[in-house]
Amino acid sequence: MQLSPRQQQIVAIVKRSGPITSQQIAEELNLTRAALRPDLAVLTMSGILEARPRVGYFLSSKPSQALVAEEIKKIKVGDVKGLPRVIRASASVYDAIVNMFIEDVGTLMVVDEEGHLEGVLSRKDLLKAAIGGGDLQKMPASVVMTRMPNIICTTPEESVLTAARKIIEHEVDALPVVRPVDGQGKKLEVVGRLTKTTITRLFVELGEGGR
């Protein structure tokens, strides 16, 4: 459920000054009580606000699903992203495997000499190369990576919810967090990564009330 700007204002007022009467809320917003009634009805029916006669409106002690959703939508990728883990496209598959162990990650971002995104290497990409029987020290990582423009990316400004939906829809473990370096958005600088672990950590933080 998406709260309207006015409903968000009402929630903010009640959060700050509750318990508060509808008359007082109306005065703060320069509205009549009648004009406020539909919004207050929505907010109480959805369980965000509670109302008691002669006391007024106050924030529900059980935060409603809608309020939790509102909070989650506000969290941006830039608030939670991890450090980028990158290798050069010219690196060998062998180097990529060693790098994956050293960095303790499951996905490596592959970049060109200028640090622009060229591709992504997953564990299974490297396993596939390893069972292929070639010389892993000689085989360039770029041969087995998934390459641009087929990379699903996110940006620091995107909401974590949207980015998490991309992870599910495209069935990948990680998204490079990028910033376009040219006007056309063809060259992308890798500024971080968002993984299933990032989302799991955020979920635990939210559940434990630490955020």
Number of residues that bind ligand ADP (CB under 6 A): 15
Q: Do 54 and 104 meet the contact criterion of CB atoms below 8 Å apart? A: no
With binding defined as CB under 6 A, does residue 97 bind ligand ADP?
Answer: no
Which C-beta is closer to ligand ADP: that of 25 or that of 85? 85
DSSP structure string for 13-27? HHHHH-SB-HHHHHH
CA nearest 203: which of 177, 167, 156, 176?
167
Site for ligand ADP in 113-172 (CB under 6 A): 120, 122-125, 146, 150-152, 171-172
Which C-beta is closer to ligand ADP: that of 53 or that of 101? 101
Count of beta carbons in the 10 Å neighbourhood of residue 23:
11
Non-local CB neighbours of 89 within 8 Å, separated by 6+ positions: 110, 111, 112, 118, 119, 140, 141, 142, 145
In the complex, what is the shortest distance from the CB of residue 195 to ligand ADP, in angstroms, rounded to a whole number? Answer: 9
Residue of 175, 188, 190, 202 interacting with ligand ADP (CB under 6 A): 175
DSSP annotation of 142 reads G
Q: Near ligand ADP by CB under 6 A, which window of 8-16, 46-54, 74-82, 173-181?
A: 173-181
Question: Residue numbers of the site for ligand ADP (CB under 6 A)?
Answer: 107, 120, 122-125, 146, 150-152, 171-175
